[in-house]
A = this chain, B = another copy of it.
Amino acid sequence: MKIKSFASIATKYEAIFFDAFGVLKDYGGLIPGIDTTLRMLDEAGKEIFILTNDASRSPQALAARYQEQGVTTITPDKIISSGMLAREYIRYKVKSGAVVYLGTANSAHYLEDLGIQCHSIKDIHLDDADQYNALVLLDEEGFDWNHDLSKTINLLRRKNLPVVVANTDRTYPVSRHQLNIAIGGVANMLEDIIGRRFIRFGKPDAQMFLFAYEHLQQRRTITKNKILMVGDTLHTDILGGNKFGLATALVLSGNTLPDHYKFLINSTGIIPDYVCESAVMEQ
């Protein structure tokens, strides 16, 4: 599979879905040239959405960061986060009562604007378990793992709650050589211990792509074969995009390194339609 220039590919599609981390930005901030690229795509009339497994901040907060860095094309309505899907679930399926969450107060904004009562795992009493109607895993920060992860297990043993995971990623990078464990990794441990099925939202799940697709159709009718998904990770961005019927481009500016991409495509069986060095278009 030969490496192509992103410019030569992008021109064939009417809408482009971007992963955020490893594609638009990395631990050092914005990837150089991405701001210009996004402006060029916008001027060429391409519809752009960002699909991110990030439920730690609202679309407003996420977009504000891009704006601060001069990327004026990224507005809150362009951002589709896994937290939005978790909120949809709670909206449709939890009619009453309160919700317990793992995460920071920032991440709880996803739930609070539904008008539902939300309590951090660190603040609840297990004797009140009957009051709660769902547990939502939003963010890996905001609670004490040593104490509150066992407390989560014991809450679920007291009451059989639906558990929603708003981020399927197991880790996220904090510098070139260091990762942090993300709430998706913690969720796998809790699910394994309690032996119940959690409800996960985030790439590669179809609902993430469907949500972006529906937002797109509200702006303009574009068929799936005119949409390109651009990502740096085979088993989230590319697998999910392929399964949903989109064209897919793997970029080598993040998780998947130039030396390994052929081996990884072959060993995973997850095959992108294109491979590009990055999502940057030269001026």
Contact = CB atoms under 8 A, between A and B. Distances in A.
Contacts of A88: 245
For the residues of A in contact with B, the DSSP-based class is helix
Nearest to A143: B146
A259 to B, nearest CB: 10
A249 to B, nearest CB: 14
Contacts of A170: 192-193
Contact of A268 (B180, B197, B224, B225): B197
Interface in A142-165: 144-146, 149-150, 153-154, 156-158, 160-163
Interface residues of A, number: 61
A8 interface: no
A199 interface: yes
B185 A157 contact: no
B185 A193 contact: yes
Contacts of A188: 189, 192
A181 B235 contact: no
A270 interface: yes
B156 A269 contact: yes
A165 to B, nearest CB: 11
Nearest to A271: B162
Given A185-B192, A192-B170, A193-B170, A150 B177 contact: no
Contacts of A162: 242, 269, 271
A269 B93 CA distance: 14
Interface stretch (A65-73, A105-113, A204-212, A250-258): A204-212
Contacts of A244: 207
Nearest to A265: B160
A3 interface: no
A94 B141 CA distance: 36
Nearest to A194: B269
Contacts of A185: 189, 192-193
Contacts of A161: 269
B197 A171 contact: no
A156 B197 CA distance: 26
Interface of A: 88-89, 91-93, 126, 141, 144-146, 149-150, 153-154, 156-158, 160-163, 170-171, 177-181, 185-186, 188-189, 192-199, 205-207, 210, 224-225, 235, 239, 242-246, 263, 265-271
Give the 6 A-B residue pairs with the shortest CB-CB distance, closest first. Answer: A196-B269, A145-B145, A92-B245, A189-B189, A206-B206, A206-B207
